[in-house]
Structure 1
Amino acid sequence: MNHRKLSAGETAGTYRITDTVTEAELLSIAQAFGRRRLARGRKITQPALAFEYLQILLQDYEHEVFSAIFLDSQHRVICFEELFRGTIDSASVYPREVVKQALAHNAAALILVHNHPSGDPEPSDADRRITQRLKDALTLIDVRVIGHIVVGIDSCVSLAEREDL
């Protein structure tokens, strides 16, 4: 983040832009804030609390990216990690690799996340199937899947809120 162009506002959590910034710089600043909001120790009790940050981080990819937010037993963020990259309309997701990462991070729970480069966040049948496969695999090692968020251009959809999880 370019700190030279930002200064603290009068109210906590507000900032003043002190110089001309480009659209690319604004996006970079927003992405830095998004990463900070998904930093270690932040508590996420509901997947919807992460929508705004995930949308900022994933909405502009031209290819599908499948990620996870690994959480501890109190649903505090351990880390946000991109796991798989795909093409313009799909990504190959391997449950074995997700399980390995969950164990490596000593996660108690996780939120699955992927974008739809088309912009439409409506979950596909393939999204529902991989969610169930991952849920089944992670249940074997006592890691709960508390959400699967699909990120579009203007909005996000949570499979958990739709009772697809």
Structure 2
Amino acid sequence: MENTVLMPREKLLQFGATALSDAELLAIFLRTGIKGCPVTQLSHAVIQHFGSLRGLISASQQQFCAFKGIGITQFIQLQACTEMTKRYLLAEIKQRHLFDQSDIVRMYLQTEMEQYEREVFLVLFLDAQHRLIKQEEMFFGTVNAATIHPREIIKTALFCNAVGLILAHNHPSGLAKPSASDIQVTKQIQQAAQFLDIQVVDHFIIGKGCYFSFMENDYLQDPKQDLFHP
């Protein structure tokens, strides 16, 4: 019996959205192709041109609309979809216990921070159930001991009665590998927080399509220890 090739819509209904490739998901989003180029062919061409879905989503309006077959309507719709995803993830981390939802936190931070053009140090302040109380961009510029002030983080934590912190900063260069300064700053914040029984739950570094979690890589050691020589 000859195999039937399912179109993206039918494939989604039968197997779920996770079974679709990036190009197939984009084909559903685009809905129609252009003259001489069906939507499945167009979606493959778009993905190839921008390199990935991330490349497409992060493209400027001018870059996006310069590709034949997609225009301002698709740009607006895609930006709206991205913002809805961000708001959904934010709502999730406000309601859930974050210790059990590290993937949701990571996805939210990637959506929030990947497009920053300069380095930003962001803190999520958590309550006793490890739910989000508030989010604040605390510092800007290169992350090092001179620019990050742990006392300002602790002051904000006390003001909002936070007992847990999730730290995050981005690397606009694209790589998510922690530097010596990243490690030292984390240690300093841990040391400042421990005196008030505030826990640093994790520190995420967000790169371009990648991330690094201090917790997942066992970098959140006892702050009294030397992180360089455990």
The TM tier, using the shorter chain, reads 0.7 to 0.9
Question: Superposition pairs for residues 1-165 of structure 1, below 5 Å?
Answer: 20-22=73-75, 26-27=78-79, 29-39=81-91, 40-46=94-100, 47-86=102-141, 89-90=142-143, 92-165=147-220
Alignment length (residue pairs): 149
5+ long unaligned stretches in structure 2: 1-12, 18-27, 32-72, 221-230
Indicate how the Cα distance of structure 1 residues 25 and 105 shifts in structure 2: closer, same or farther if over 3 A, else same: farther
Kept in 1: contact 2:175–2:208 (CA 8 A): yes
Q: What TM-score results when the alignment is normalised by the length of structure 1?
A: 0.79
Identity of aligned pairs, percent? 36
Give the deviation of 1:142 after TM superposition: 1.1
Deviation, structure 1 residue 26: 2.6
Structure number having the greater strand percentage: 1
TM-score relative to the length of structure 2: 0.58
Give the Cα–Cα distance (whole angstroms) in 2 for the partners of residues 25 and 83 of structure 1. 31
Post-superposition Cα deviations, 1:114-137, rounded to whole Å, max 9, x if no partner, equal 000101001111000000000000
Residues 12-50 of structure 1, C-alpha deviations (whole Å, 9 max, x = no match) = xx9x9799331x653454245324423433331153431
Which structure shows the higher helix fraction? 2
Residue 117 and residue 18 in structure 1: after superposition, are their counterparts in 2 closer, same or farther (change >3 A)?
closer
What are structure 1's unaligned runs of at least 5 residues? 1-9
